[in-house]
Amino acid sequence: MAAVTARTTFIPPSTFRSSSRSPFPTSKSTLPFSLIPQKQSLRHFLHISNSLHQSAAVTTTTIPTTTETPLQDFASRFAADEPRKGADILVEALERQGVTTVFAYPGGASMEIHQALTRSNVIRNVLPRHEQGGVFAAEGYARSSGVPGICIATSGPGATNLVSGLADALLDSVPLIAITGQVPRRMIGTDAFQETPIVEVTRSITKHNYLVLDVDDIPRIVNEAFLLASSGRPGPVLIDIPKDIQQQLAIPNWEQPIRLPGYMSRMPKPPSEVHLEQIVRLISESEKPVLYVGGGCLNSSEELRRFVELTGIPVASTLMGLGAFPTADELSLQMLGMHGTVYANYAVDRCDLLLAFGVRFDDRVTGKIEAFANRAKIVHIDIDSAEIGKNKQPHVSVCSDVKLALEGMNMILESKRDKLKLEYSTWRQELNEEKAKYPLSYKTFGEAIPPQYAIQVLDELTGGNAIISTGVGQHQMWAAQFYKYKRPRQWLTSGGLGAMGFGLPAAIGAAVANPGAVVVDIDGDGSFIMNVQELATICVENLPIKILLLNNQHLGMVVQWEDRFYKANRAHTYLGDPSKESEIFPNMLKFAEACRIPAARVTKRKALKAAIQKMLDTPGPYLLDVIVPHQEHVLPMIPSGGAFKDMITEGDGRTEQ
């Protein structure tokens, strides 16, 4: 996803010494228009094992704003010259960054950190029931707030249980700090109990990582980790801390400067006016322009809306970009790609100018890359130079913060409004005809509940204002299609990695970061059961999370592919009890009951609306088990590697394909 706020002035390293997250430096460097910049590697520093991955999902801008007050005059509970454990130094370093919540599961190598957390009057630990639940919860916290999420695990299996979450955060550009305990330094490399080289394991799935070998480095490393996670293209940073470092007594130096000269030198600068003028000229010459916006636009929603207001250009969104532009707006084409709307994909196929802002030309969007927007000139603006030209060669490219680029183009458009006279009514009418001809739709069969209808009812009863998290599969795509997102950071889903089990713990993070908000996990039975243990966390923390479980007793998306491409041969995609297919198995209501969470099941369409209303009206958490047919298919669908001409708009598992 994207970071939130951009600044154009450079802040000296000394600013990081005792401050919260928001004052990070955000200076950027502009690259010549025609140049496709080459990736550079970060310099490795003493005591730091690191990696900077630059070829994953696109995103945004620079430093997230936070509602927390910058801690410029931090009051330590220790005297300035008082020795304290490394674990206490770590916790205070987090406090100085403005951290108030962590998702931490204890173990032998991280016990000292947990002991130090009990001595903090600032930081609350939301205890997950599995480390993967913790890292996904930290992601939900970060995705819904724009502030880095913090998770902590022990060494060995605790650390390796974070791997899926780290990979997910990298692909979707989520600011995340993962802290792991490690065996004592003298035992590293001896195959000690619960030892894994987690720095090496995660090297390619983190933006940067550290192995702390000197207790005095902790303040600097924490400062650097927050800078790296939040600046440029956000991502996960891992800090691995041996147990003897956690136990060692030291007097911290909070005035250490950061040491990332290579990274800072590559931060993109604001785009030049000449480049933006060229893009505006292309817009003025175009007859059929389309905006293709992704997660990189989540931090520039206001600027994007103003740009659309000034130009009248229709907007197609990626899965990660949902909410950057209101999906109910008349200029919204909703989602494009494999399961995008017919009219969004039609627009991209027929456009003469594609404005690709904060996107990475992912295969689930483009399909057959040679056929994607092959009639159009392509303008690509992204903060990550590695994404420009990686999958699709643009005609015009700008390596910059999308927010600054939009601000600059809006100023140009406003100053030239009378001269430009942009007119796309004929093009919009053509697209409106496609909307009327191919709306998102579904069929109803008797009293069975169409899963799409369940999401429509939820949208209606929440006024489109809920924060929605999902697992991965059919329910995820229906939630993207049928819930009308109004604002950024309202839609939380595992996009690039497609990690089942994401929805429930992500909802925990969102509920903690947004007290008072309506948070709904729209989940499938396959995804839900992968982290069902987190119901215990929801109960103990009394988080008012609503779970809309679309239960079809199958791995729905895999079943759909079996129907379409494997002659409906079922290959281990039935999740119920084969000996009692008439029963719902497992009984999800029993899981909820075991964790003292109210729950109900609904099987008939006419009872659905009242059941969802009861779910929303019940204080605290609630699980609604909605039984839906497994024959439903997510449509439209462009087969993998296909083009717009290959789009499927009809059929389901009830008919022979």
Give the active site residue among 1, 320, 409, 557: 557
Give the active site residue among 193, 287, 414, 613: 193
Q: How far, in Å, CA of 191 to CA of 71, rounded? A: 41
8 Å CB contact between 239 and 153: no
197, two tokens = 């080289």
**Catalytic-residue membership of 193:** yes
Strand 236-242 and strand 176-182: the pairing is parallel
- Helix ranges (H only) for 386-468 are 402-415, 417-420, 425-437, 451-462
8 Å CB contact between 609 and 616: no
Q: How far, in Å, CA of 332 to CA of 404, rounded? A: 22
Q: Which of 222, 252, 249 is nearest to 81 (CA)?
A: 252
**Catalytic-residue membership of 411:** no
Q: What are the φ/ψ torsions at residue 223 (nearest 5 degrees)?
A: -60, -45
Give the active site residue among 112, 131, 195, 434: 131
Q: How far, in Å, CA of 343 to CA of 348, rounded? A: 9
**Catalytic-residue membership of 194:** yes
Q: Which of 499, 493, 424, 505 is nearest to 127 (CA)?
A: 505
Give the active site residue among 33, 111, 115, 194: 194
- State the helix-helix crossing angle for 131-145 and 163-171, rounded to 10 degrees: 20
Q: How many CB atoms lie within 10 A of CB 200?
A: 13
Give the active site residue among 243, 392, 484, 546: 243
For residue 112, give the 3-state DSSP assignment. helix
Query: Which residues, in sequence order, are bridge partners of residue 124?
Result: 101
**Catalytic-residue membership of 131:** yes
**Catalytic-residue membership of 24:** no
Q: How far, in Å, CA of 470 to CA of 363, rounded? A: 21
Q: How far, in Å, CA of 461 to CA of 84, rounded? A: 53
Return the DSSP state at 324.
S
- State the helix-helix crossing angle for 86-96 and 111-118, rounded to 10 degrees: 60
11, two tokens = 């802040």
Q: Which amino acid is residue 163, in one-letter code?
A: V
315 alpha carbon, distance to own chain's centre: 20
Active site residues: 131, 193-194, 243, 557
